[in-house]
């Protein structure tokens, strides 16, 4: 091999790296700064909601106004996360820049009035819209636009949760089930690290979660794995996956129900808001409103509180699911992931009490595993668990996330996510199908089965 033959590909690689540094770093700095503004605004909105309980009565009004604004001025921005995924798979008109201010303001408004929503959707849409704007400025070709959009997802996710490595892997993994697109590996990692750095530079700090189980043993070093506990983790992982599937399917079904009963979109959050207010008074608590990360009331169920080994909470996972599904299906804005963290941690806490397992460990496992099943991103969620809780329980985290991924089936909170490789060889699903199409096929098959059952019952009656 001549010197020129050896050097030519290396020079091309170096040029590519320099190109992505020039484009990705400023893009990530903008995304990280917007995420800092978003997180700061979210904290202020949450504080205001706790200080002024009457704000909950603004749910119907706030919901009506935000959906009306999206209809009048948002246009394609209403596509949200699914629009970004679709643009990565099939680049077209791009992601509109107006998506950033729309999702930021509407999510903060949702939390101000008590809607049960999260942060990930907002962060991903901030990243996608800013990345699309940078792609237009630099006049990138379609293949590079795809990579930059993935880097935008990584930047938003890494900054909003303070988990840059998980953010990079999430952007690679979330697009296609069973297949990762490694061509975007370095840009995504650069974007996630730079955005997280920018977010911290503005003085934003993330809540720290701690698993006390075996923490002393971890300090002493050595390998710690218990066979019986591993079995319990495996069973819990299966249940986390089933919970993830139930959440995704329930969200899509309730969303379709709202569209059926309210053909005029701005009225859907009005109905949803009234239902949420009724639930608050029916249950006599407001602990399932908002993010659920913290509360001034020590008795309230919160994500941090669910890690407390002294706390046993059997039903918070169910009620948080109900509040979140109604909020997002009715049209309020935000993400699903932080509520999924709450649901997973609460379910883990309940399972720990049933199985006689460490509550803080199972809360941490549920925290990431339900998310893994609902988004089909087991590697990203395992890495997130390590970034958040440390590597002491890496084996348990892997088992819980991988089993949750498998047992959630071909469902997802992102309907535009595609299937690259089916989860098991027994699944006869054509590669390239979107989850949306898989759900439609399953519904058609179910309708056919029900039709045959009714037809058989009619013949017997005769």
Mean pLDDT score of the chain:
91
Q: Band of the pLDDT at 1, cuts 50, 70, 90? A: low
| Residue 418 main-chain phi, psi, to 5 deg | -110, 160
Instruction: Give the whole-number percent of the chain exceeding pLDDT 90.
Output: 73
Q: At what angle do helices 267-283 and 227-261 cross, to 10 degrees?
A: 130
pLDDT at residue number 358: 96
Whether 444 shows a pLDDT value over 60: the answer reads yes
pLDDT at residue number 77: 72
Cα diameter, the chain: 87
**pLDDT 10s digits, 30-87:** 999 999 999 999 999 999 999 999 999 999 999 999 999 998 887 777 777 788 888 8
**pLDDT 10s digits, 2-15:** 777 667 777 888 88
**Which tokens hold the place of 179?**
């297949």
Query: Any idea how long the chain is?
Result: 462
Predicted TM-score of the model (pTM): 0.93
Whether 459 shows a pLDDT value over 70: the answer reads no
Q: Band of the pLDDT at 457, cuts 50, 70, 90? A: low
Q: How many CB atoms lie within 10 A of CB 141?
A: 9
In the predicted model, what is the mean pLDDT of residues 180-203?
Answer: 95
Whether 426 shows a pLDDT value over 60: the answer reads yes
Count of helix runs (H) and strand runs (E) in the chain: 17, 2
pLDDT at residue number 210: 87
pLDDT at residue number 216: 65
The secondary element (H helix, E strand) that includes residue 219 is helix 215-220
Rg (CA), the chain: 22
Chain-centroid distance, C-alpha 79 = 16
Nearest alpha-carbon partner for 365 in 338, 380, 346: 346
């Amino acid at each position: 091999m001549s010197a020129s033959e050896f050097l030519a590909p290396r020079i091309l690689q170096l040029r590519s790296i320099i190109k992505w540094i020039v484009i990705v770093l400023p893009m990530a700095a903008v995304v990280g700064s917007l995420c800092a503004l978003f997180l700061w605004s979210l904290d202020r909105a949450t504080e205001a909601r706790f200080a002024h309980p009457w704000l909950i009565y603004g749910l119907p009004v706030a919901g009506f106004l935000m959906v009306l604004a999206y209809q009048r001025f948002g246009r394609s921005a209403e596509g949200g996360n699914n629009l970004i995924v679709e643009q990565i798979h099939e680049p077209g008109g791009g992601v509109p820049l107006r998506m950033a201010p729309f999702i930021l303001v509407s999510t903060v408004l949702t939390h101000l009035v008590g809607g049960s929503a999260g942060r990930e959707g907002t962060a991903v849409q901030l990243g996608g819209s800013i990345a699309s704007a940078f792609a237009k400025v630099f006049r990138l070709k379609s293949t590079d636009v795809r990579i930059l959009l993935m880097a935008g997802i990584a930047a938003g996710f890494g900054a909003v949760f303070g988990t840059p490595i998980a953010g990079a892997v999430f952007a690679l993994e979330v697009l296609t089930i069973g297949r990762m697109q490694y061509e975007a590996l370095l840009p995504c990692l650069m974007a996630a690290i730079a955005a997280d750095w920018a977010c911290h530079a503005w003085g934003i700090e993330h809540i720290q979660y701690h698993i006390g189980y075996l923490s002393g043993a971890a300090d002493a070093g050595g390998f710690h794995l218990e066979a019986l506990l591993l079995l319990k983790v495996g069973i819990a992982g299966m249940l986390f996956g089933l919970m993830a599937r139930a959440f995704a399917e329930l969200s899509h079904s309730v969303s379709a129900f709202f569209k059926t009963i309210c053909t005029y979109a701005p009225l859907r959050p009005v109905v949803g808001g009234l239902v949420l207010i009724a639930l608050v008074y029916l249950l006599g608590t407001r602990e399932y409103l908002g993010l659920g990360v913290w509360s001034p009331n020590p008795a309230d169920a919160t994500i941090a509180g669910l890690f407390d080994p002294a706390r046993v909470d059997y039903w918070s996972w169910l009620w948080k699911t109900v509040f979140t599904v109604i909020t997002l299906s009715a049209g309020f804005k935000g993400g699903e992931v932080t509520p999924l963290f709450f649901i997973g941690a609460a379910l883990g806490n309940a399972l720990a009490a049933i199985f006689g397992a460490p509550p803080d460990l199972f809360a941490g496992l549920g925290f990431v595993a339900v998310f893994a099943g609902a988004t089909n991103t087991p590697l990203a969620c395992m890495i997130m668990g390590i970034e958040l809780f440390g590597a002491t329980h890496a084996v348990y985290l892997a088992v819980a996330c991988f089993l949750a991924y498998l047992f959630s089936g071909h469902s997802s909170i992102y309907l535009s996510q595609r299937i690259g490789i089916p989860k098991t060889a027994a699944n006869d699903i054509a590669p390239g199908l979107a989850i949306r199409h898989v759900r439609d096929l399953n519904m058609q098959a179910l309708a056919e089965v029900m039709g045959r059952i009714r037809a058989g019952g009619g013949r017997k009656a005769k």
